[in-house]
Amino acid sequence: MQPGRKDLWFVPLGGTGEIGMNLNLYGHDDQWLMVDCGVSFDEPLVPEYQSETAQTSHHPIVCADPKFIVERKDTLVGICITHAHEDHVGAIADLWPRLQAPIYATPFTAEIMRRKLAERGLEGKAPVHIIPTDSDHTVGCFDISWITMTHSVPEPSGLIIRTPLGTVFHTADWKIDMSPGLGKSFNIKKIKSINEESELLAVVGDSTNATKPGQSCSESTCYHGLRETIRHQQGRVIVGCFASNIARIISLAKIAQETGRYLCVLGRSMDTMVSAARLTGYWPDDVELVNPQHVGYLPAHEVLLVATGSQGEPRAALGRLAADSHRLLTLDEQDVVIFSSIIIPGNEKAIEKIVSQFNARKVKTIQVETHNLPIHASGHPNRDELVQLYQWLQPEMVIPTHGEHRHMEAHADIAKSQGIRKTFVGKNGDLFRLRPQPSIKRGVIHAGRIVLSRD
Ligand SMILES: [Zn+2]
Ligand SMILES: [Zn+2]
């Protein structure tokens, strides 16, 4: 099954009908373009939480089964990575040997990817083209413009993919943030101009928060909420967040400076993000990090710790602090733990467990749902932002991705409410035909997940 000159196809192998492991394909004129190559965790994160084996169970990392495109790899002209989150880039080093196509990414994303390729001895073997942000690049028969959006990581890129049959806007992960705290604010003018040059055939995009009303919270609002919360604390402040949320870590770095605390990050994945941010110029020059080895010796009121494990993972930094088994630090009664993240469905019990471990030792905890100030901002668009997008763009059709079925249905309803008549809600392995006749052929392409080996 190959697209001909009169075909323009979209085929998701991962990330449509689920949140995680994004792997998308566009096909035209006997050529395929891959957009993203991510991983996911088999959920829930700690399903065996109540069992005795919970502390030692290893959680499998999975990615989309690439069989369909591997069988056609000679016609795969390139792999574009939209941003540095694991659900978009996490499987690149695992799958590249089977794909062998050139990779395209902006500098920060390329730096995160370089480390992954180096770990597998692929650095220098896999050709990586570093694309300046907001620039154009032709890959095979696809003319691509990289558009910087706002999200929770540097250089989140939407892709305008032009073919002789029409133009598609692949949003990837985005929100409208006029004050993102990291990089440029959302460029309304640029987004509006997408459909000025030619009719926009389709928007393929992020459905994560389509069921949520209103607008997403800006990172700067979250920064103010965190600063006010941290300012009044007497003891150590420990903030749990996702390592990939580098915008949040930079907000916390600024807050550390403003509140007279030293910043320390705990967790290998956080070290990786911080050092990539440093190398690519996103880390504020004047923020020094304290070596975790020294943090136990500092006066408590001078410590701001950022730790991995906000989903209750028992072996991550926060889990170890909760169980009082962290080799570098024991928390005291004056200390506070702030959860600056959402609860991923399925992880409630695991999080509850570490919260009660902290509370049993009289360490205070602060969570998003019960705190009176904003301490977390999602990186994805709520309803009003999607409405805005479709008012600006008015594409012929909308294909919701990056969500479970209910998120994608909500996304499609929003598009319809803005006068877009064609919406296609499908899932991994469906063939979305954009041209010649817009239609969806369900389940005609092999899709599944494979477990990746990790040491
Ligand atoms: Zn993302
Ligand atoms: Zn994502």
Helix, strand counts (H, E) of the chain: 12, 23
Rounded to the nearest angstrom, the distance between the alpha carbon of 207 and the centre of ligand 2 is 10
Rounded to the nearest angstrom, the distance between the alpha carbon of 335 and the centre of ligand 1 is 31
Rounded to the nearest angstrom, the distance between the alpha carbon of 332 and the centre of ligand 1 is 35
Comparing C-alpha atoms, which of 438, 437, 427, 426 is closest to residue 397? 438
Does 8-213+378-452 match 219-370 in CATH topology? no
Rounded to the nearest angstrom, the distance between the alpha carbon of 39 and the centre of ligand 1 is 12
Angle at 147 between CA 8 and CA 86, to 5 degrees: 85
Measured distance CA(369)–CA(219) in Å, rounded: 17
Tell me the CATH number for domain 219-370.
3.40.50.10710
How confident is the chain (455 residues) per 10-residue block, as mean pLDDT?
A: 97 96 98 97 49 47 96 98 96 97 98 96 96 97 97 96 97 96 91 88 98 96 97 96 90 94 92 92 88 94 95 91 94 96 87 95 94 95 98 97 97 98 98 97 96 78
Ligand nearest to the CA of 149: 1
Rounded to the nearest angstrom, the distance between the alpha carbon of 299 and the centre of ligand 2 is 38
The pair of structure tokens assigned to 224 is: 């103010």
Q: Which residues pair with 34 in a beta bridge?
A: 25, 79
Looking at CATH, the fold of the domain delimited by 8-213+378-452 is given as: Metallo-beta-lactamase; Chain A (3.60.15)
Rounded to the nearest angstrom, the distance between the alpha carbon of 175 and the centre of ligand 2 is 12
Parallel/antiparallel/unpaired status of strands 8-14 and 431-435: antiparallel
Greatest CA span in the chain, whole angstroms?
Answer: 68
Rounded to the nearest angstrom, the distance between the alpha carbon of 247 and the centre of ligand 2 is 15
Judge if the upstream peptide bond of residue 107 is cis by omega within 30 degrees of 0: no
Rounded to the nearest angstrom, the distance between the alpha carbon of 84 and the centre of ligand 2 is 9
Decide: 330 and 287 in contact? Cβ < 8 Å.
no
Measured distance CA(86)–CA(393) in Å, rounded: 29
Ligand nearest to the CA of 205: 2
The pair of structure tokens assigned to 433 is: 């035909």
Rounded to the nearest angstrom, the distance between the alpha carbon of 36 and the centre of ligand 2 is 10
Domain regions of the chain by residue span = 8-213+378-452, 219-370
Ligand nearest to the CA of 22: 2
Rounded to the nearest angstrom, the distance between the alpha carbon of 381 and the centre of ligand 1 is 11
Ligand nearest to the CA of 245: 1
Q: Helix, strand, or coil here: 41?
A: strand
Rounded to the nearest angstrom, the distance between the alpha carbon of 323 and the centre of ligand 2 is 31
* Contacts of 50-58 spanning 24+ positions with Cβ under 8 A: 50/349, 54/314, 55/314, 55/315
Measured distance CA(15)–CA(37) in Å, rounded: 10
Residue 222: C-alpha distances to residues 25, 210, 229, 284 (Å)? 35, 20, 10, 18
**Token pair 């323009």: residue:** 8
Measured distance CA(226)–CA(374) in Å, rounded: 7
Comparing C-alpha atoms, which of 286, 336, 339 is closest to residue 312? 339
Rounded to the nearest angstrom, the distance between the alpha carbon of 63 and the centre of ligand 2 is 13
Rounded to the nearest angstrom, the distance between the alpha carbon of 325 and the centre of ligand 2 is 32
Ligand nearest to the CA of 20: 2
Rounded to the nearest angstrom, the distance between the alpha carbon of 152 and the centre of ligand 1 is 7
How confident is the model at residue 43, as a pLDDT? Answer: 55
Rounded to the nearest angstrom, the distance between the alpha carbon of 22 and the centre of ligand 2 is 7
**Angle 246-258/268-279 helices, nearest 10 degrees?**
80
> Could you tell me the pTM of the whole model?
0.93
Rounded to the nearest angstrom, the distance between the alpha carbon of 374 and the centre of ligand 1 is 20
How confident is the model at residue 59, as a pLDDT? Answer: 62
Residues in the chain: 455
How confident is the model at residue 210, as a pLDDT? Answer: 98
Rounded to the nearest angstrom, the distance between the alpha carbon of 97 and the centre of ligand 1 is 24
> In 295-363, which ranges are E strands?
303-307, 336-339
Rounded to the nearest angstrom, the distance between the alpha carbon of 447 and the centre of ligand 2 is 19
Rounded to the nearest angstrom, the distance between the alpha carbon of 208 and the centre of ligand 1 is 10
Rounded to the nearest angstrom, the distance between the alpha carbon of 328 and the centre of ligand 1 is 31
Query: Positive or negative CA dihedral for 236, 343, 267, 150?
Result: negative
How confident is the model at residue 185, as a pLDDT? Answer: 94
Instruction: Please state, as a whole number, how many other Cβ atoms lie within 10 Å of the Cβ of residue 222.
Output: 23
Rounded to the nearest angstrom, the distance between the alpha carbon of 293 and the centre of ligand 2 is 33
Strand 61-64's sheet: what is its strand order? 39-41, 61-64, 449-452
Ligand nearest to the CA of 87: 2
Ligand nearest to the CA of 152: 1
Query: Positive or negative CA dihedral for 435, 16, 452, 273?
Result: positive
The pair of structure tokens assigned to 368 is: 């998003």
Rounded to the nearest angstrom, the distance between the alpha carbon of 82 and the centre of ligand 2 is 9
